[in-house]
Amino acid sequence: MTGLLWIDKVNDRIGKIVSFLIWVGAAVLVWEVVSRYVFNAPTIWAHGYTQRIFGSYFILIGAFALLRGSHVRIDIFLPAKGGRRRAALDLLNYLMLLIWGSALTYEGWAFFQDALLWNQKDDSALGHPIWPIKLCLVIGAGLISVQAVAEIIRSVAGLINPSINQTRQFGNDT
């Protein structure tokens, strides 16, 4: 189980670091609003950068959200206290997530390589390269996939022995 805790800690740390992108994105948006409405001098770059910042944030924070149980769940089939039934349904959910995450990582890598090879640029006036956001897609989907594997292992352990304590160990700041 040490490997599972290592995966949890890596995704926890990355999630905490990536969470600061919200502040960067908010600062860019505030700058744009002030520039536009106070100084009557809108920027040509703020819109594109906020798209990149928030797009990167949403894909890179996914594994952290999975780790913390923050994804939307419909628990109408799951008993409140858990047990083998919950472990089996969790296993099914995490297997589907692993398939999705693996496919997104695989295809995202091809998108990233093409963007880098062909020096693809966005359609904004500044023509920024697209490969950084596609790299974030690959990294984020990969992190979600690895966290899904950890959750699959936990679900299998819960199927075998429903009394296993599956709580995670985090630092004092959680």
CA max distance for the chain: 65
**pLDDT tens-digit readout, 44-56:** 889 889 989 999 9
Rounded Cα gap, residues 151 and 24, in angstroms? 31
Rounded Cα gap, residues 10 and 64, in angstroms? 9
Q: How confident is the model at residue 168 (pLDDT cuts 50, 70, 90)?
A: low
Which of 28, 5, 3 shows the shortest CA–CA distance to 170? 5
- Average pLDDT for residues 2-25, to the nearest whole number? 94
**pLDDT tens-digit readout, 99-136:** 999 999 999 999 999 999 999 998 877 888 999 999 99
Check residues 75 and 169 and name the one with the higher pLDDT.
Answer: 75
**pLDDT tens-digit readout, 34-44:** 999 999 999 98
Q: Is the confidence at residue 70, as pLDDT, over 80?
A: yes
For 10, 58, 70, 118, 133, the CA distances from 115, given in Å and listed in that order, are 28, 20, 32, 5, 10
